[in-house]
Amino acid sequence: MNPVDSIKATSVWVVDDDVSIAWVLEKALSKNGYRVSVFRSVKPLLQALKSDRPDVVISDVQMPGVDGLKLLELLTENLPMIPVIIMTAYSDFETTIASYQKGAFEYLSKPFDIHQVLELVERAAKEKKISTSGNESATAELYDSNSRAGFWQKEFEQRANSLLSSQKTDVARTLYREIDRILILSALEHTGGHKQKAAVALGWGRNTLTRKMQDLGM
Residue 132 exposure: Cα atoms within 13 Å on the Cβ side: 11
Q: Are 110 and 21 in contact (CB under 8 A)?
A: yes
**Quick one: fold of 3-143?**
Rossmann fold (3.40.50)
- Common-topology check for domains 3-143 and 168-215: no
Domain ranges of the chain: 3-143, 168-215
Q: Are 71 and 45 in contact (CB under 8 A)?
A: yes
How many angstroms separate the CA atoms of 91 and 108, rounded? 9
Q: pLDDT tens track of the chain, all 218 residues?
A: 444 444 457 899 999 999 999 999 999 999 999 999 999 999 999 999 989 999 999 999 888 888 888 898 888 888 888 999 988 776 566 666 666 667 788 888 888 889 989 998 998 888 877 666 554 444 344 444 445 555 566 667 777 777 788 877 788 888 888 888 888 888 888 888 888 888 888 888 888 888 888 888 88
pTM higher than the cut 0.75: no
| CATH class of segment(s) 168-215 | mainly alpha
HEC sequence for 47-115? HHCCCCCCCEEEEECCCCCCCHHHHHHHHHHHCCCCCEEEEECCCCHHHHHHHHHCCCCEEEECCCCHH
